[in-house]
Chain A
Amino acid sequence: GENVEQHPSTLSVQEGDSAVIKCTYSDSASNYFPWYKQELGKRPQLIIDIRSNVGEKKDQRIAVTLNKTAKHFSLHITETQPEDSAVYFCAANRDDKIIFGKGTRLHILP
């Protein structure tokens, strides 16, 4: 079955700098890769997703890249702000299910 590995587990960046979170997946049939953000005490919410027919997608300060050959995808956050502090989860589809990585806790330092 699909395994999704996520790194790092914790990331601290200075406010205004960029943050990068990386994920790898095992099932070559996977074709949908969402990213969820979970703020403290709140439910996870989708922030961006990418499908296998594109290599990159951008939404304001957030971008995701996908390398299907290497089976890895990454989340890039530029010009980080305090409200970016949260846990971020990558995921990939497996059959009718979505399998999540273990999460990255992102700290934005003042």
Chain B
Amino acid sequence: GAVVSQHPSWVICKSGTSVKIECRSLDFQATTMFWYRQFPKQSLMLMATSNEGSKATYEQGVEKDKFLINHASLTLSTLTVTSAHPEDSSFYICSASAGKRSYNSPLHFGNGTRLTVT
């Protein structure tokens, strides 16, 4: 079955530094990838939609300059948390779909990245 790999699975960084999270589709081409954020005991909140070869679409309230998304190939999207602060500590999870119109395809999720900013 389709596999999405997310790396790293956890990271601790100091306030003010930047952290890059990778999301790879291992056995399919993902034209669209999604980045979610999940606070403890809460649901997943879509942050942005990443389209290969074009700019990401950010949800309202998500700072584009803080959460940089790059979808450089059909198998890789990256999320960079720039100048991280403790309030950015969260569980970040990516997902990818093999369908161009992905609304009717099951999303395959990475294992998530737990970011802790000290």
* B is a partner of A: no
Which chain A residues have a beta carbon within 8 Å of chain B's beta carbons? none
Which chain B residues have a beta carbon within 8 Å of chain A's beta carbons? none
